[in-house]
Amino acid sequence: DIQMTQSPSSLSASVGDRVTITCRASQSIGNFLNWYQQKPGKAPNLLIYAASSLQSGVPSRINGSGSGTDFTLTISSLQAEDFATYYCQQSYSTLFTFGGGTKVEIK
């Protein structure tokens, strides 16, 4: 299995802050990497696919980058609606696997 490791597991930030979340794959996965946002009691919501392609309807302050084993999700100016848990997921292997999540909390 391809293991996905996210860091940090949680962070505290204020509205307007720039936030960066990292995801590392246990082997090279090219750019077969997706990012999701999950709010309490809701299913995950797709933000980014193919490492850097923004899903329709997702605000442009959210950006994805990286390739190989190291990936980054950046929120350029954190808004109130961005406080949530974020997950990466690889689709390089047909055995899809997810990272453990990064919870973004209000400072």
Partner 1 sequence: QMQMQESGPGLVKPSETLSLTCSVSGGSISSHYWSWIRQSPGRGLEWIASVSYSGTTNYNPSLKSRVTILLDTSKNQFSLKLRSMTAADTAVYCCARVQESAVEGNNFYYFDHWGQGTLVTVSS
103 φ/ψ angles, rounded to the nearest 5 degrees: -90, 125
Residue 46 CB, shortest distance to partner 1, in Å, is 5
Residue closer to partner 1, measured from CB, 32 or 71: 32
Q: Which of 29, 37, 44, 75 binds partner 1 (CB under 8 A)?
A: 44
List binders of partner 1 among 52-91 (CB under 8 A): 53, 55, 87, 89, 91
Cβ-proximal residues to 99 (8 Å cutoff; 6+ apart), any chain: 4, 5, 6, 23, 87, 88, 89
Q: Which of 40, 81, 95, 107 binds partner 1 (CB under 8 A)?
A: 95
